[in-house]
Amino acid sequence: MKKTKTRGRRVAHTRTWQVQLIQDAEVERECQQQERKKERRLDSMLRRSSRERVWRDSLPKPELPRQMPRRPDPPVPTLGQRQASPGWFWVYCNNRNCSHRMPMPVAPYVIRWGGDVSSDALRRNLKCSRCGHRGASLSAPSWRDMQVGFEPFPVHN
């Protein structure tokens, strides 16, 4: 064994190298043992879950409640029906970046297309005056109170 002198102490270089190798090997062994423990735990969990699955499959399955039948969509009102109550509605642009809204009377469209035409035709064909997007949502005006009824058509000065 080769020995060197450093600041008055004798240090064995080969010995420290061997000690380091032994320590590395011990660390490696501990890691391998931990991996094996994890694998054993995983295996036991899988075995247990497969046993439980077999047991659960042997039990009678509860009858699931039937889903409620979906109600058909209500009929879309015609322009004549829209004209009957307040005679106007709010039109909202369907473009999510625009959000423009505007009051619109129903009478001109009833005159042009007739009262029996679905209001879907109007929804599809309206074009926003701000962004140019085609397609809009229609909304009835709000109910004010018993004396006034629906909101009156907004008039801008």
Q: What is the pTM of this model?
A: 0.51
The pLDDT score that the predictor gives to residue 23 is 75
The pLDDT score that the predictor gives to residue 157 is 45
One-letter amino acid at 90 equals W
Residues of the chain with pLDDT under 50: 1, 6, 8-9, 11, 157
- Torsion sign over Cα 51, 53, 54, 58: positive
pLDDT in tens, 61-73: 667 677 777 888 8
